[in-house]
């Protein structure tokens, strides 16, 4: 095995309601106990061992993607209990007050539907009533749940079908149009939902001051970076870099790939920026580069802990 990260996204508490894939402070505590707090390196130690070439095969680090407020509120106090620091991969448009659809859509799914499959059904029905119905029907014939996103074992067939429809059939512009229509129909208040979803500049500064390592994650979090032109990829990462460098008065040297999406151009751009350590979003083998460290999704750890219990 290669030294790797554990990847976290959503946490729940009384303030941050539970949702798909979210875990509580207690679950995080149990997970850290099971991994072995002594085996988990402080983020800066993982980075400096990487730079010196002294990382051992079973070295581990913790990583938090997407600048989520629930991570700051729920996970950070648990890390403090264990005296641990982590990598935080921050997309920066939300620090400027922009509302990015990614989290809004998740919040919408959780609040307006009894479960995620009910949302998937409503979404597909909205596509079927749209001008993209014929295209979607044609392309969905190619969909094979066993082959699509095979590196993510915890996705259900319904998750795969939705992701295929979103990313391969519709693409970002048409997907957003369909979602806007659905959100309007449900009279969901986007501005109200946006409050409390993301960290602000102060949170990121506080993490940095406490010894955590802050890294890149693009500016606006596209779900398919690999589909962007070289220019668009460059502006995503340069803008992200400039914002964090200015905020923290330090050059970022780490990153993670949003939705595990990148190509050779992305890696060149990251090298231009002097990024020395990057993380993928799964444990797939065959990627040995310094910008392609594997990460275990916490969902896999939860599954294993449940099986073992």
296 binds Zn ion (CB under 5 A): no
Q: Which is nearer to Zn ion, 93 or 126 (CB)?
A: 93
Stretch that binds Zn ion, among 57-65, 158-166, 180-188, 195-203 (CB under 5 A): 57-65
Q: Work out which of 101, 222, 258, 294 binds Zn ion, going by CB under 5 A.
A: 258
Phi and psi at 85, nearest 5°, equal -120, 160
Binding characters for Zn ion, 201-240, by CB under 5 A (x = yes): ----------------------------------------
Q: Which is nearer to Zn ion, 94 or 127 (CB)?
A: 94
Measured from the CB of residue 211, what is the shortest distance to Zn ion in angstroms? Answer: 22
Report yes or no: 59 and 49 within 8 Å, Cβ to Cβ.
Answer: yes
Measured from the CB of residue 62, what is the shortest distance to Zn ion in angstroms? Answer: 15
Q: For residue 83, what are the contacts with CB-CB under 8 A and spacing of at least 6?
A: none
From 242, 253, 206, select the one nearest 47 (Cα to Cα). Answer: 253
Which residues from 105-124 bind Zn ion, rule CB under 5 A?
none
Report yes or no: 110 and 193 within 8 Å, Cβ to Cβ.
Answer: no
Strands 87-90, 4-8: pairing kind = unpaired
Q: Work out which of 59, 65, 167, 297 binds Zn ion, going by CB under 5 A.
A: 65
Go through 226-264 and write b for each residue having 16 or more CB atoms within 10 A of its CB, e for each that does not.
eebeeeebbbbbebbbebbeebbeeebbbbbbbbbbbee
CA distances from 264 to 57, 105, 229, 233 (A): 26, 30, 12, 11
Q: Which is nearer to Zn ion, 100 or 126 (CB)?
A: 100
66 binds Zn ion (CB under 5 A): yes
Q: Which is nearer to Zn ion, 169 or 255 (CB)?
A: 255
Stretch that binds Zn ion, among 23-31, 61-69, 116-124, 189-197 (CB under 5 A): 61-69
Measured from the CB of residue 43, what is the shortest distance to Zn ion in angstroms? Answer: 17
């Amino acid at each position: 095995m290669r030294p790797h990260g554990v990847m976290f996204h959503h946490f729940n508490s009384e303030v941050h309601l539970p949702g798909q894939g979210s875990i509580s402070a207690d679950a995080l505590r149990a997970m850290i106990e099971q991994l072995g707090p002594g085996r988990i390196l402080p983020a800066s130690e993982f980075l400096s061992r990487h730079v010196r070439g002294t990382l051992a095969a079973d070295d581990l680090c913790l990583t938090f993607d997407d600048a989520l407020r629930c991570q700051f509120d729920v996970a950070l106090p648990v890390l403090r209990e264990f005296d641990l620091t982590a990598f935080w991969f921050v997309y920066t448009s939300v620090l400027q007050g922009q509302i990015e659809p990614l989290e809004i859509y998740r919040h919408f799914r959780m609040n307006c539907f009894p479960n995620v499959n009910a949302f998937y059904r409503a979404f597909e029905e909205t596509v079927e009533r749209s001008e993209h119905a014929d295209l979607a029907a044609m392309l969905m014939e190619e969909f094979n749940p066993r082959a699509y996103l095979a590196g993510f074992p915890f996705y259900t067939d319904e998750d795969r079908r939705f992701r295929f429809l979103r990313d391969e059939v519709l693409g970002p512009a048409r997907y957003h149009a369909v979602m806007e229509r659905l959100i309007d129909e449900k009279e969901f208040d986007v501005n109200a939902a946006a409050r409390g979803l993301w960290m602000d500049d102060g949170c990121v500064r506080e993490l940095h001051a406490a010894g955590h390592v802050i890294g890149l994650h693009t500016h606006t979090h596209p779900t398919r970076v690999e589909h962007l032109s070289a220019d668009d990829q460059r502006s995503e990462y340069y803008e992200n870099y400039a914002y964090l460098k200015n905020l923290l008065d330090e050059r970022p040297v780490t990153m993670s790939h949003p939705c595990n999406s990148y190509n050779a151009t992305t890696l060149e751009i990251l090298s231009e920026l002097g990024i020395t350590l990057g993380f993928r979003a799964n444990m797939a083998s065959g990627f040995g580069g310094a910008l392609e460290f594997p990460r275990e999704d916490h969902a896999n750890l939860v599954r294993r802990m449940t099986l073992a219990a």
